[in-house]
Chains A and B, each alone.
Chain A
């Protein structure tokens, strides 16, 4: 009998895993929260919208090729859109919700391709309406063709702010400034790595050219330190920081804008993996707490696999190659994987993953967030938005000796709100470390990974196998 396989997520890793597993005869179910495949990076426009996603042609070609391949297997797999996976247990039982109904799925294998989400370093005013994640501003463009504001300041680390600024300009928007923390030069000397990712480098340079041609003020080593405006962003104050991330006095520059789009990198969507009791490791530039996986995506818990950025941030191309290998492994019998010909059959995908990972390793330098930046929030700055926990409240707990994430949560309620800590936990951990918290430690994961109404939980379909 064919092996059953549930894949959580329909981004590059999930789509590619589904295609590979289906080709090997597995009965595949893909669950995804979006209405259309693609995940965050290959997010598709609403079908009613005609037009551009303002991406580079080569990037668009990659996206269309993979989504096209996924769409060609749709008649042979089960694809459940607008479906949230909200709990995973070490028994391998996956709980999902769609509409007003919940269901427990059991399968021979589960692949977690849950991706990453953006993070930000809190600064005074960062909760003012108008401050958003850079990727959030990009998502508005990609899916709705909507500009986030009339005059946008884009800032943060890594390549994303450059891409977002360029796409806003191409969509006819106005970028008031582009402030990046790390100079692109930090990755420049790693020539072999850059060569291996030359397609991405070329795209990056084209985005940069768009920004330069539009004469957007570009500020390197500048970060947002304060937002002015009560009901709505009126301006942002940018300041220069040194290598440790400490603000250099008298470098402040105020830029008028109605939106501040900020990205300080990414953290893995690891809730389901942690909930299932999978052994995790801490790797901040790769996305924080990550499931420990082997080359075929196997975790410490039998039958549960992980692939793509959720197993370590390395971008869409690595995710696609890895999805192919992990999809094949999850579709195979456990002993089949140990045979040499199994690996040989995946040689192309495994080599591609290795080559592209080297490029991503070089790009890690761009994503580093120096510890000095964590001195930007002031006493009144809200760190946990759901429970309105300010830095002063957090500091009171830290000073009283509550340093472990679980105890900080109990005393301050940070992480207990609607988002379940998805927004604030990385900040809480970083601030705790500044206060001398010992080794990084994880907050105990609990169901649910998404808020689900009582009525939906009560409206439970009988347990079944996909």
Chain B
């Protein structure tokens, strides 16, 4: 290892870890920032997600996190000096309701969204099908739509952050698994397979794996793995302009810029495996054909799985732990879409002790001990 001392050590080079590293390096030139990741580039949950982002949520905190993040995505190519761009696509996001109760939740969420300037609107089934002609009518009650939502390439987002961070002097090391984090004087000893690093502060961005590192310190971060299975089709002409998500089918549909259509199909599944399960294709295909019959002819090229995380109230955990100087950022499965804002928040919190951010102040893990649960109306409790 080149440098065994860091001002801030970040564990995890996914969207949260790299975004936080870049924001920290921008805020403080001289800070020695080290990022360690056990895998290779983009091998974790960020590189495996469905790539969509939206500000259509029912809670102020989620709306704000995503509004800030989408603004960042829009100018990321310039801000991060990444001329290739991150395959940004803003053709809107259509949230579908296949029941009256889901439709009512959407209506109430749209009223909240309007208070924060989100340009969303309610659509009836005819309007939904006009936007996406391949959509099935069966059971469709309506949807909400926001034209500024969209998607970007998680791979290129990570590549842009990685290259920009390294230019700012951040030391990012892959293939370096952290075995343990221990208190030492006013800092921490972070033990890896290839040596120990002494760090002033530590930020854990390993999502569902955070408990592996904090439980030995007596800290409870309630988060569990949430496997997501995904399949992608061959490139097709532009037929699904906005991203679709159906609250009841639990399917998200994203036709990316190259024409391939990515389907994220959720179901209850245990474990941390990133392999596609033998029964996934036959589970997912009928549900997809039911939701979008007009896409049934498309050939499926690939299926894979990613392991995102979920907390008891399905909201992120951002904040300092009981141990001073030890911070966690847990995504609760919206890490990619919130990572620009979360990176900024965590950078301010870790470097300057700023905990006054209106969003971050609600998301500390202490809320669970106090019995407070945040309820986001647009998430099905699973």
Interface residues of A (CB under 8 A from B): 87, 89, 91, 93, 95, 102, 104, 387, 400, 402, 404, 406-407, 410-411, 413, 416-418, 420, 446-448, 451-455, 457-458, 460
Pick from B163, B286, B303: contact of A458, CB below 8 A: B286
CB of B276 within 8 A of CB of A446, answer: yes
Question: Would you give the 0/1 interface string for B276-289, flagging 1 where the beta carbon is closer than 8 Å to chain A?
Answer: 10100110111011
Bound CA span A435–B295, Å: 41
CB of B296 within 8 A of CB of A454, answer: yes
CB of B155 within 8 A of CB of A457, answer: no
CB of A400 within 8 A of CB of B297, answer: no
Min CB gap A456→B, angstroms: 8
Contacts of A410 in B (CB 8 A): 41-42, 47, 155
Whether, in the assembled complex, B304 has its beta carbon less than 8 Å from a beta carbon of chain A, the answer is: yes
CB of A89 within 8 A of CB of B278, answer: yes
Bound CA span A457–B235, Å: 18
CB of A447 within 8 A of CB of B303, answer: yes
Contacts of A404 in B (CB 8 A): 40
Contacts of A87 in B (CB 8 A): 278, 281
Contacts of B286 in A (CB 8 A): 458, 460
Bound CA span A337–B297, Å: 46
Min CB gap B290→A, angstroms: 8
Pick from B47, B156, B289: contact of A455, CB below 8 A: B289
| 18 A–B pairs (Cβ distance < 8 Å), ordered by A | A87-B281, A102-B282, A387-B258, A404-B40, A418-B234, A447-B281, A447-B303, A448-B302, A451-B234, A451-B300, A454-B296, A454-B297, A455-B285, A457-B300, A458-B282, A458-B286, A458-B289, A460-B286
CB of A95 within 8 A of CB of B43, answer: no
CB of A446 within 8 A of CB of B298, answer: no
Pick from B41, B233, B297: contact of A407, CB below 8 A: B41
CB of B282 within 8 A of CB of A448, answer: no
Min CB gap B299→A, angstroms: 4
Contacts of A447 in B (CB 8 A): 276, 281, 302-303
CB of A406 within 8 A of CB of B288, answer: no
Task: Knowing A93-B278, A458-B289 are in contact, say whether A411-B155 is a contact too (CB < 8 A).
Answer: yes
Whether, in the assembled complex, B159 has its beta carbon less than 8 Å from a beta carbon of chain A, the answer is: yes
CB of A446 within 8 A of CB of B303, answer: yes
CB of A417 within 8 A of CB of B300, answer: no
Contacts of A387 in B (CB 8 A): 258
Bound CA span A400–B159, Å: 10
CB of A420 within 8 A of CB of B298, answer: no
Bound CA span A87–B301, Å: 11
Q: Main SS of the interface on chain B?
A: mixed
**What are the 9 tightest A-B residue pairs by CB atom distance, in nearest-first order?**
A457-B285, A451-B299, A458-B285, A455-B296, A458-B286, A407-B41, A89-B278, A410-B155, A460-B282
CB of A457 within 8 A of CB of B282, answer: yes
Bound CA span A191–B258, Å: 55
Min CB gap A400→B, angstroms: 7
Task: Knowing A400-B163, A418-B234 are in contact, say whether A454-B301 is a contact too (CB < 8 A).
Answer: no
Pick from B235, B282, B296, B302: contact of A453, CB below 8 A: B296
CB of B301 within 8 A of CB of A448, answer: yes
CB of B295 within 8 A of CB of A454, answer: yes
Contacts of A89 in B (CB 8 A): 278
CB of B155 within 8 A of CB of A104, answer: no
Bound CA span A256–B188, Å: 71
Bound CA span A89–B280, Å: 12
Contacts of B163 in A (CB 8 A): 400
Interface size on B, residues (CB 8 A): 32
Bound CA span A91–B278, Å: 9
Contacts of A407 in B (CB 8 A): 40-43
Bound CA span A454–B43, Å: 27
CB of B281 within 8 A of CB of A457, answer: yes
Min CB gap B63→A, angstroms: 30
Task: Knowing A400-B163, A410-B155 are in contact, say whether A418-B301 is a contact too (CB < 8 A).
Answer: yes
CB of A104 within 8 A of CB of B282, answer: yes
Question: Would you give the 0/1 interface string for B42-82, flagging 1 where the beta carbon is closer than 8 Å to chain A?
Answer: 11000100000000000000000000000000000000000
CB of B40 within 8 A of CB of A406, answer: yes
Contacts of A400 in B (CB 8 A): 159, 163
Min CB gap A101→B, angstroms: 12
Pick from B41, B235, B285, B301: contact of A420, CB below 8 A: B301
Contacts of B297 in A (CB 8 A): 453-455
Contacts of A417 in B (CB 8 A): 234-235, 301
Min CB gap A405→B, angstroms: 10
Min CB gap B261→A, angstroms: 9
Bound CA span A387–B153, Å: 15
Bound CA span A447–B302, Å: 5
Most buried by A among B233, B276, B285, B302: B285
Bound CA span A10–B201, Å: 62
Bound CA span A460–B156, Å: 36
Q: A102-B281, A457-B300, A458-B296 given. 5 additional CB < 8 A pairs?
A: A387-B258, A402-B41, A411-B156, A447-B276, A454-B295
Most buried by A among B234, B281, B286, B299: B281
* Chain A minimum-CB-distance residue to B42: A410
Bound CA span A454–B231, Å: 10
CB of B40 within 8 A of CB of A416, answer: no
Bound CA span A387–B256, Å: 13
Question: Would you give the 0/1 interface string for B240-264, flagging 1 where the beta carbon is closer than 8 Å to chain A?
Answer: 0000000000000000001000000
* Chain A minimum-CB-distance residue to B163: A400
CB of B285 within 8 A of CB of A454, answer: yes
Contacts of A457 in B (CB 8 A): 281-282, 284-285, 300
Contacts of B288 in A (CB 8 A): 454, 458
Task: Knowing A407-B40, A410-B155, A454-B233 are in contact, say whether A446-B302 is a contact too (CB < 8 A).
Answer: yes
Bound CA span A411–B42, Å: 9
Bound CA span A164–B276, Å: 41
CB of A406 within 8 A of CB of B43, answer: yes
